Structure 1
Amino acid sequence: MRLGLTEAPLPLLYTDAAMYLGMVHAYLPFAVLPLTATLLRRDLSVEEAAADLGASPWVVFRTVTLPLSAPGAAAAFLLVFIPAAGEFVIPGLLGPPDALLVGRVLWAEFFQNRDWPLAAALAVALLALLILPIRLFQRLEEGGLEGGFAPFAGSGAAPRDIGVRRLGLIGGLAFLWLPILLLVGYAFSADRIPFQWGGFSLRWFRALAANERMLEAAWLSLRIAAGAATLAVLLGGMTGWVLARHGRFHGKALFGALAGAPLVLPEVVTGLSLLLLFVVLQGAAEAAFGWQLGRGAATVLLAHATLGLAYVAVVVQARLTGLDPALEEAAADLGAGPFTVFRTVTLPLIAPALVAGWLLAFTLSLDDVVVASFVSGPAGTTLPMLVFSQLRVGLTPEINALAAVILAVAGLLLGLAAAILGRNGRGGARAG
C-alpha cells in the first residue's frame, strides 16, 4: 500500500536553524546525564558553608557549584561534540542541501562518489580532530580543574524564588517532549497531511499493519536486535568481568580503551571502519576458500553487537565494582573452584546488569540507522533504514503511526531496564 506524500509547504524546515535545533534536541540528554551524575556526587556542605557566610544563591552557584560541576560539564561537552561532529541523519532531514557537515561529506564521498580512499582519509582526520578535546578533558581531570571558572567569580543578583528554577525545568522538558507528543498526536489524525489535524482516527495504524514492506523490515530489525543483544551480552559481560575482577595486567588500559571506543567514536567512523573490515574479510574468505560472503543481516548483526558490547561492558563493570568481593572470596575459601564461584556467586549477582545490558543493546540496535546503512546489503534493510529513506522523500501519516509504536516499545524496554537497574542497586545496597 502506497501512501501519498505531503505537498504542504514546510517553511521552517531545511534551514540551518532547524538543523541546529534538531541536533540540540537529539543530544541534550547526552549532556544532562553526566551533569546530573556530577551534581549528585558533590559535597553539599561546601555550598551550605558559602550560604552561611552570606553568599547569595547566585553567587554560591557561580563560585562553588559551577566549579564543582566542571568535570561533568567537560564530559557533557565531549558526549555531545563527538557524535555531533559525525552526524548526518539530522542534517540530511532538516538541513539545507548545501550544509557541508563532515558526516554528510564522508557519506557522499563513500556512497555517491565511490571515493573510498578519500572517505577513509576524512574519517582519520575526524578522529584526529576528536583526540584533541578528549586529551584536553584528561588534562583537566588530572589537574583537578582548580580555578577553571575563576573569571566567573564575583557578585550577582540572586534568583527571585524557586519558581524560576521550576520554569527552567518545565521549559527544558517541553523542548524535549513537545515535538514527540505532537508526532504521536498527529498519528491519530484522520487527515492525509501528516501535520494537520482531521479528527481522531486509527486509519494510519491500520495502514501500517497492512504495509508488508514495513512489517518485513520490522521483523528483520527485531531478529537482528535480539541476536546482536545476545552476542553483546556474552562478549560484553566477559569484558566487564575482566576489567573489574582480573586486577592489573599488562595492556589493561589499552584493552579498556579499545572496549569502550564505540561509546565515543562517531557512528559514521564506526560504520565506515566496520564496512572496510567486512570487505577485507570477504576478499580473504573468497581467496582462501572460495566463499562468496555478501553483506546483509549477518553483517548488521555483528556491527550492532560491536556497539552493544561496549555498553554491556560498562554496565557489568559498574555492577561488579560496586559489589563486595568477600562473597566470592568466601566461596573460594570453602573449596569452590573459579568456575563454580562464577556460576554460583558472581553470575547471580550480575544477572540484573546482564538483563539491563541486553535491553540496552537491543534498543540501540533497533534504533540504529548510520552503522546499518554502511554494513548492510540488499537483503539487510532494517526498519530504521527504510524509514530514513522514505523521510528523505517526504513525510507520510503512516510514519507518524510507526513512530508512535516505536516510542511505546522503546518506553517499555527502557522502563523495564530502569526497573531492573533499580532492583540491582537495592540488591547491591543490601549485599553491602
Structure 2
Amino acid sequence: MTRKKYVFLILILGSLTALGPFSIDMYLPGFTAIAKYLHTSTDQVALSLSSYFIGISAGQLLYGPLLDRFGRKRPLYFGLSLYIVASVGCFFSTSLEMLIIMRFFQAIGSCAASVAAMAMVRDLFPVEDNAKVFSLLILVLGASPMLAPTIGSYITAAFEWQVIFLILTVIAALILLAVIFALPESYQPDPSYSLKPRPIIGNFLQVLKNPQFLTYSLCGAFAFAGLFAYVSSSSIIFIEVFKVSQKGFGWIFAGLSVGFIGSSQVNSLLMKKYKSEQLVNASLIWMVFISAVFLIGSLNGWFGIGGTIAMIFGVLCGVGISYPNTAALSLAPFTKNAGSASALVGAFQMAIGALASIGITLIKSHSPLPMAGVMAASAVVALLVLLIGKRFIKDKVEAKADASVMAH
C-alpha cells in the first residue's frame, strides 16, 4: 500500500468515525437556544443527547450482522442516507419530542459509519498494524471535539440553532459521496451469513465467548466512559457553574480535546517500544490515580476552573492511550466475525457511556463532583475488569504496531 493511499483511506475512515461524535459535540453550545426555542429547559433538551446515545448503542448491534452479510458499503449507503434524512428532521423540529425522535434516528444512521470504519480497519490493514491505525483515526476523530463545539458556538451566536443540523446534513452528504466513489469494498458479501435472529445471536455469543474480546472490550468501554462523563456534563459545569460564555466554552472544549488527541498520537510512538497490553495496563492505572485526585479535590472544593480543566485533561490523556489499544486487542482474534465484533465493541462503549451520562444526573451537586465521581468509578471498574479478565486469556493474539507501515 502506497503512503498516499494509506493516508487517503485513513481520512475517509476517520471521517466515518468522527460523524457520530461531531453530531454530539456540535450542538452542545446550542442547548440554551434550543431550550428557549422549544419552550423547555436545558435539562429536557439533554434528553435529545440521551436518545442519541441509546440510538447509537442499539444501532451498533443492527449493523454488525448487516456488514458481514452484505459487505461493508451497502449498509453504509443505507446508514448515511438515514442520517441525512434524520438531520433534515432535526432542522425542521418544532417540539422537543420531535427533536428527541429525530436524534434517535440520526444516531441509528451514524452507527453504520462507526461500525463499518472499525471493521474496515480489520479488513484493509494487517492485524499487527491495527492499534497504530486506530491511533491515526483518533487524529481525524479529534477534529470533532476541537472544531465542533467552537463551530457550534459561533453558529448559535450568529444564526438560529437549526443551522447546526443543516451543516451536519451537508457533511454527511459529502462523506456519502466519498464512500461511493473513493472507498474500496473491503469485504465481499457472504450469502451464507444468516440474518435470522438465532444465527445472529449465535454469532454474537461466539464473539462474546472469546476471553480476550470480552476483557478488552469491556475494560475499554468503562475507560471510555470517562469521555462520556466529560461530554455529558461539560456544558453545565463550564457555562452554568463557572459562568463561561458559549464561545469560551467552545474554546475550552477544543483545548481539552488536545489531551485526548495528543495522547493517542503519543501512543503511536510508544508502540514502537511497548506492547498494547502494557500500554493498557499503564493508562488504566493512571486514570484511576488522576480521577481519584479529581474526586477527592471536588469533594473538598480544591479546584477552581483551572484545576478542573487540568484534572479533566489528565483523564482524557488516559482515554487517548487506552482506547486504540483496547480496540485493537478486542478485534485482533477475529477475521470472519470482525463486523459483529466491532459492533459489540461499539455497543459496549455506548451502553456504558449512556450509563455514565445517567450517573451524572443521579449525583445532585452543582459542581464538578458528578463528573469526577463517574470518572473515578468507571476507571476503577475498567482496571478491575482487566485484572480479572486477563486470568482467563490463554491464547492471546498480539496487536502491536509496525513502525515501518507508513512507508509501504
TM class, shorter-chain normalised?
Answer: 0.3 to 0.5
TM-score scaled to structure 2, two decimals?
A: 0.34
- Which of the pair has the greater relative contact order for Cα pairs under 8 Å at 6+ separation? 2
The structure with the largest alpha-carbon Rg is 1
TM-score scaled to structure 1, two decimals?
A: 0.32
